[in-house]
Structure 1
Amino acid sequence: MPVDPDNRRRHRTLSTRIVASAGSAAAQARRQTSSDEAAISSWITQHMGARVLTVTRQARWRYAWLVDAERDGEELPLVVRGERGAGIPMQFPLRHEMSLQRVMSEQGIPVPTVYGWIDELPAYVMDRVDGQPGFEGLTTDQRDLLMRDYMGQLARLHRLPLKPFLEAGIQRAATPAGIGSYGIGRFEAVWRAGKNAPNPLLEFVLGWLKRNPVDTKGRESAIVWDSGQLHQKDGQLRAILDVEAGHIGDPMMDLAAPRMRDTVLHFGDFEKLYQEYERAGGFPVDMDAIQLHHIAFALTNELAFRNSLNDPLPESDYMTNLHWCSETNLHAIEALGERLGLELEPPELPAATVTRAATAHDQLVGMLRGIDTDDEYIRYRLRGAFRFARHVQREDEVGVEFTNSDLDDLVPVLGHRPATWQEGDAALEQFVLADGGRHDGQLCQLFYRRQIRHKNTLGPPGSAMVAHHTCQPFPARV
């Protein structure tokens, strides 16, 4: 069948409009970036006596700039780290993050050196550490040696005196009883301050955690909290990175957080890692506390991003945040099911329905896949648009059946079937809040099925957005 030349023209025109729209957003971003770059260059010149060669805004959801400078004839690579964008609030102030990193550096913990604060942005300036995240190119033995060093650095951090951190204003719980929940409490407080829709999953797991608090046994130290982020080069640890959620809390939190990141980076056997931590002088490993912290930590993406996902700003990285939430919500429910001794049962997934919009979705996905550009920011936005299109396409194929299945699941719990998913979420949240733990097992199974369904709307079967990677199991409790 001959190709319709008008259709070709329409395809090219629409593709051009999409790139032009992205280009308009890129132009606006560049105008803002130009002002930011001027502030960065001025500050580095004035406060560090360095000559700025290039300033590059990273194409990502958080404000960060890579700076190449030179001083006294030597290269000076820097990072300028700002706040989250897209209306997503931080759990601890950015100055708190900078202060914690500075004290860690002064106490000999390998973190990037902090140079100072730029009021105009706001942001802080630090060394850009050579190396890479992850373990690509390393043997298993090299990775294990690297992780032994990392666990040793955590042990050193946990044994440092608290006084320098307290003098720098690093936050801690008001009472010993709050040490184990201070970090997750900050996340919850920020979420509740902006809560804009019912969230029965969060209310269920947060309620369970409050009924089953961590017993810290008096442990307290400076902690990274979102641990497991590092740079290495040739198998040598170069720096511990990203202390935005760090504070003074339970050191067992730093042993719990990497369990989720392990699903992507593969740190090794956690029992052996914990042995290395103890051998290096860390606190006695408390597996009960680690398991509870792991459940709590798995909620943090949902707590941090859900309000924005319910009402996103145009510049938000919607699909990245949605993907993170879908993956880690499953980790939370799986970890709770493991704690409760449940065998979680996944739901049956329906075949895709071919709707009237199917051809249009195919056309949009194919078009976005075929567009390319040399502009890094436009490329970043187009990748998000492509993922967005595949998510909406999948919702068109299975969304109605998934919604009906979710509502059907509520009948044994509520005694009736709500008419809409909005009514269902509100009714389920009210049930959870009033339940007080009487139906924990039943609700855990219900939320597992709901999360599996939701995960399977993010893209076509077999896509990276739909893939789920389970965490290493905990040893059997005695």
Structure 2
Amino acid sequence: MTEATALNNYDDAAVGRITAFVEEQTGGTVVGLERLVRWRPSWFVDVKQGDAVRRLHLRGDRGGDVSIFPDLKREADVIDLLHRQGLPVPEILGYLPSPPCIVMEAIEGRRDFSTLDASTKSAVGRTYMQAVAAMHGLPVEPFLEAGLHRPQGAEAIALAGLDAYMPHYRRTKSRPEPLLEFVIRWLGRNLPRDRHRASFIQFDSGQYLVEKGAMTKLYDFEFSMIGDPLVDIATMGMRNSYEPLGAPLPELVRYYEEATGEPVDHEAVVFHVLQFSLLGTMQFTGTVGKPCPGDPHSVYLMFDLSLRRSILLALSHLSGVELPSLPDLEERSGDNAPLLAKLADTLATLPVTGEAAEGHKTQVAELIEWARRADDHGAAMVARNIADVSALLGRSFDRWDAAAQALETHIETAGPQEDATLIHLLATIEGRRLQLFGPTALGEAARNVVLPATR
């Protein structure tokens, strides 16, 4: 699957303002500008200062309506605070409000650790976890002054991420979400009650680069907040499943324990795997249910399917309710198979030029494949789901949206004595969806999701 192209289109005038700002901040001359095909507008820029040329990174605003902390300056301020306190993060040279853009040091290195031998991966892993431990040990007061919220008490610390994401979820929610509503309530009833220390956390952790066999710097603090430090262990474990961190996760956890002098609560880590999976799904569900113009919809579908699988694995582990075993789908072709095949054929012959255009073409091909699977099996899946919800609630439904809304309404007042029944039903519904879309290019990531093993 290709990477998403940026949602925000910074035009030539905007790029001109950014270039002028870079020259103003550095006292140099921009001699090179390389646009990156990524989630957001971003560039590498070469600036000549005297006889030397310095490479910087420009980070623009991703746009769309999926950001929990949409103010890009918040991230610039956080990274600047970390840098001033000696953490290995990029130096911030300036922030331009219009168009929003962070001007920062470009980090050397790469994410691919496959060419490193085991001993080098271990050394890099120890350095990385020492940096994470140092970050968690920072005083939180400077971050409070920068506008971050400090949760008070075990419940608020455990659910800091949920509290931060909830306004976005409630505002953008575009369809009934019985699984998400169940997990929101389950987390509140089953949170760790003995964890009382809140730290600055990267939240979406595991992002660092390696150059010449050594860690260079950490990057990407868009979602950083104050909360349980074990959130970072949980999220790096999830990232490790599709973007390997080098050393095995249990080894990284041991290095973290060495650096902090404290044992890791492994069940608390799984709790945060569940919560982070929930939050990622909450973040994108609005646009998945009602796609917004310009959104990289194929990427959001991939995230949604993968995160729901992660929810089920973590919830099963924590609740002790086994996931259901479903019968295989009987292969069939949908009524629109010839039309969808022709769409795929027509798309394949379209001439495109440039990396961004190739990316868009691939995304359309992925959506056609997704639609083909829905045409083949979607109606049968919906019928089975409606029948199961009808059996639980004791009344019939003609459409899935009505059944899903009724199930969500039931979940809102259900007590913990119904947890096992509801988990089994929700896992069956989501399991069928994975059966349906798992064989697609977008479904490959979901098929490979596993619960992070921290020991």
When normalised by structure 1's length, the TM-score is 0.87
The Cα of 1:146 is off from its aligned counterpart by: 1.3
Whole-angstrom distance in 2 between the partners of 1:265 and 1:47: 34
Aligned to 2:90: 112
Aligned to 2:390: 411
Aligned to 1:22: none
Q: CA distance change for structure 1 residues 156 and 430 in 2, over 3 Å: closer, same or farther?
A: same
Whole-angstrom distance in 2 between the partners of 1:163 and 1:140: 39
Matched, 1:281 2:249: no
Matched, 1:179 2:175: no
Matched, 1:446 2:425: yes
Match 2:110 to one of 109, 132, 154: 132
C-alpha contact (below 8 Å) 2:154/2:192 kept by paired residues: no
Whole-angstrom distance in 1 between the partners of 2:90 and 2:351: 35
Aligned to 1:54: 32
Whole-angstrom distance in 2 between the partners of 1:273 and 1:263: 14
Secondary structure, aligned partner of 1:334: helix
The Cα of 1:472 is off from its aligned counterpart by: 4.0
Whole-angstrom distance in 1 between the partners of 2:145 and 2:413: 42
Q: CA distance change for structure 1 residues 332 and 29 in 2, over 3 Å: closer, same or farther?
A: closer
Give the 5 Å matches for 1:40-439.
40-91=18-69, 93-173=71-151, 177-215=155-193, 217-267=195-245, 268-281=247-260, 283-439=262-418
Which amino acid letter does the alignment assign opposite residue 256 of structure 1?
A
Stretch deviating more after TM superposition (403-412 or 247-256): 403-412
The Cα of 1:370 is off from its aligned counterpart by: 4.3
Task: Provide Cα deviations, 1:60-111, integer angstroms capped at 9, x if missing partner.
Answer: 3323233232222322222222233233333363222111111111111111
Secondary structure, aligned partner of 2:410: helix
C-alpha contact (below 8 Å) 1:160/1:222 kept by paired residues: yes
Aligned to 1:3: none
Matched, 1:465 2:443: yes
The Cα of 1:185 is off from its aligned counterpart by: 1.3
Stretch deviating more after TM superposition (316-325 or 441-450): 441-450
The Cα of 1:337 is off from its aligned counterpart by: 0.4
Whole-angstrom distance in 2 between the partners of 1:186 and 1:415: 36
C-alpha contact (below 8 Å) 1:202/1:299 kept by paired residues: yes
Secondary structure, aligned partner of 2:325: coil
Secondary structure, aligned partner of 1:143: helix
C-alpha contact (below 8 Å) 2:174/2:287 kept by paired residues: no
C-alpha contact (below 8 Å) 2:204/2:221 kept by paired residues: yes
Whole-angstrom distance in 1 between the partners of 2:96 and 2:108: 23
Task: Provide Cα deviations, 1:227-283, integer angstroms capped at 9, x if missing partner.
Answer: 111111233111111111112221111111112112113344433322211111254
Task: Provide Cα deviations, 1:153-210, integer angstroms capped at 9, x if missing partner.
Answer: 1111111222332333333225564122112211122111222221111101111001
Task: Provide Cα deviations, 1:272-327, integer angstroms capped at 9, x if missing partner.
Answer: 32221111125432223212111101112211111122222221100101101110
Task: Provide Cα deviations, 1:303-357, integer angstroms capped at 9, x if missing partner.
Answer: 1111122222221100101101110111011101011122212322423332332
Secondary structure, aligned partner of 1:96: helix
Whole-angstrom distance in 2 between the partners of 1:135 and 1:443: 41
Whole-angstrom distance in 2 between the partners of 1:408 and 1:452: 15
C-alpha contact (below 8 Å) 1:155/1:283 kept by paired residues: no
Whole-angstrom distance in 1 between the partners of 2:43 and 2:409: 44
The Cα of 1:55 is off from its aligned counterpart by: 3.1
Whole-angstrom distance in 2 between the partners of 1:82 and 1:297: 25
Give the 5 Å matches for 1:9-20.
none
Aligned to 1:9: none
- Aligned residues with identical type, % of pairs: 27
Whole-angstrom distance in 2 between the partners of 1:214 and 1:50: 52
Which amino acid letter does the alignment assign opposite residue 397 of structure 2?
P
Which amino acid letter does the alignment assign opposite residue 237 of structure 1?
M
Which amino acid letter does the alignment assign opposite residue 63 of structure 1?
P
Secondary structure, aligned partner of 1:343: coil
Which amino acid letter does the alignment assign opposite residue 69 of structure 1?
V
Which amino acid letter does the alignment assign opposite residue 259 of structure 1?
G
Q: CA distance change for structure 1 residues 225 and 87 in 2, over 3 Å: closer, same or farther?
A: closer
Which amino acid letter does the alignment assign opposite residue 352 of structure 1?
E
Whole-angstrom distance in 2 between the partners of 1:181 and 1:29: 31
The Cα of 1:221 is off from its aligned counterpart by: 1.5
The Cα of 1:216 is off from its aligned counterpart by: 5.2
Secondary structure, aligned partner of 2:352: coil
Task: Provide Cα deviations, 1:353-401, integer angstroms capped at 9, x if missing partner.
Answer: 3233211211222332344533222112111111111111111111111
Whole-angstrom distance in 2 between the partners of 1:415 and 1:471: 35
